[in-house]
Structure 1
Amino acid sequence: MTRIIGLAGWSGAGKTTLMVKLLPALIGRGLAVSTLKHAHHRFDVDTPGKDSYEHRRAGAQQVMVASGARWALMTELRTAREPTLRELLARMDPVDLVIVEGFKRDLHPKIEVHRAANDKPWMRPDMPGIVAVASDVAPPYDLPRAHLDDVGAVAALVLAHAVPVADIAWAVRQEA
């Protein structure tokens, strides 16, 4: 049964740095872990001039590239709406744990990643689903907390607060 947890924080808080340290710690505990990252801007995983890029540019809705080492499936949305977190998770292979970076307004449980030097406000209570904190300072609210540099403690928070994907109330909080 796949469980899910999110890492939520403002840009510059250290989410990616934490993720890169957290993955080996969780995998070292015998877990199969996948990640799902939301990008707020147009991005490209393909290189101009490569065959797969040219296939997409010519209008293919999906392009799959495969080798003996990996495969990737690229889907062009063109005029279609952006898929929801639930729809994206349904396309992933089953694993023990999926860590989501982004999708901060969705209702899945999240660990707030906060760095004082970033000089950004705390996300809670304005963001739904924050159940714990990974930060270099104490938060202004009472939730389980681990220091950003204590990867083992953050891994423990992840394992304690991840929930089965099937248990998520799949709705996005509406803006007022």
Structure 2
Amino acid sequence: MKVIHIAGWSGSGKTTFILKLCSHLVHRGRTATIKHIGSHYCALPLGKDTTLHFEAGADPAVGIDDEKTSAVFHGICLDDALNLLSDSGVRYAVLEGFKGMPFQKVHIGILDGPYLLKNPEVSEVLSVLDQFDDWYTPSGLMKELTDEYPGCHIFSWAGYVTDYQKTKDLCSRIEDEYGDDPLIAGIRARVHRWSDDGRYPVYLLMAMNNPFADAAIFFRAIQKIEVCTLS
């Protein structure tokens, strides 16, 4: 999942820009937004059942009507929200606010700090989507492979590493090495960059037509990662 971080001061035009950007991104893949509501709270309707459920501790409290599904969570952790979006198969997560987060940013208006683009046109953002940060979860990667290769069997493995860059380079080599193997329909070898404790999750998934004949290929790839983590 790509994280496209839009930052700027209130009144700078962030929301207008995001609306334009989302209208294009939805044609490329499932798109979601997360907004930091800093100046006010998102009020729940008083006395309604879902509000009462939430106040009673339901986490989340979910309501479904004829037009939409609404869910309210007690947690306020951005990581948890991004995990939820990735798990559900979102391809593009657009953040509004959260200026202190270290993602590649699009600055709107006058704002200090590093950025990838400043006051761009939407077309400029679309042209450099590959340069924005990735957010990986096992379920998100599984959904990618399942959608791209329906009917295939998916092998998956997850672990932790302490050397992000070394593992990132190895994942690229594994995808190059196994990507052309006729026995493998699709592959994802990815390491998640964002970590609070210096342990980076690494994921390996392969889509295969014949799981019994091809399992050895998958386990050889796992061994490459395990050797890398021990060396």
> What's the TM-score, normalizing by structure 1?
0.67
1:162 partner amino acid: F
Is 1:152 paired with 2:137? no
**Residues 22-171 of structure 1: matches in 2 within 5 Å?**
22-28=21-27, 30-77=28-75, 82-83=76-77, 85-92=78-85, 93-114=88-109, 121-125=110-114, 130-134=115-119, 146=120, 150-157=121-128, 159-166=129-136, 167-170=192-195
Q: Deviations over 1:54-77 (max 9, x none)?
A: 333455453111234322221235
CA–CA distance in 2 between the matches of 1:65 and 1:73?
A: 6
CA–CA distance in 2 between the matches of 1:67 and 1:107?
A: 37
Answer yes or no: is the 8 Å Cα contact 1:23–1:33 preserved in 2: yes
Secondary structure, counterpart of 2:100 in structure 1: coil
CA–CA distance in 2 between the matches of 1:35 and 1:168?
A: 21
How many pairs were matched up? 139
Structure with the higher fraction of residues in helix conformation: 2
Secondary structure, counterpart of 1:103 in structure 2: coil
Answer yes or no: is the 8 Å Cα contact 1:5–1:161 preserved in 2: no
Secondary structure, counterpart of 2:54 in structure 1: helix
Taking a change above 3 Å as real, the CA distance of residues 45 and 155 of structure 1, as seen in their structure-2 partners, is farther
> What's the TM-score, normalizing by structure 2?
0.53
Which structure 2 residue ranges, 5 or more long, are not aligned? 137-191, 197-231
1:152 partner amino acid: S
Taking a change above 3 Å as real, the CA distance of residues 86 and 101 of structure 1, as seen in their structure-2 partners, is same
Range 160-169 or range 18-27, more displaced: 160-169
Q: Deviations over 1:28-47 (max 9, x none)?
A: 3x222111111114523531
Secondary structure, counterpart of 1:36 in structure 2: strand
Taking a change above 3 Å as real, the CA distance of residues 61 and 165 of structure 1, as seen in their structure-2 partners, is closer
2:2 partner amino acid: R
Q: Which has the larger radius of gyration?
A: 2
% same residue: 25
CA RMSD of aligned residues (A): 2.3
Answer yes or no: is the 8 Å Cα contact 2:25–2:92 preserved in 1: no
Which structure 1 residue ranges, 5 or more long, are not aligned? 115-120, 135-145, 172-176
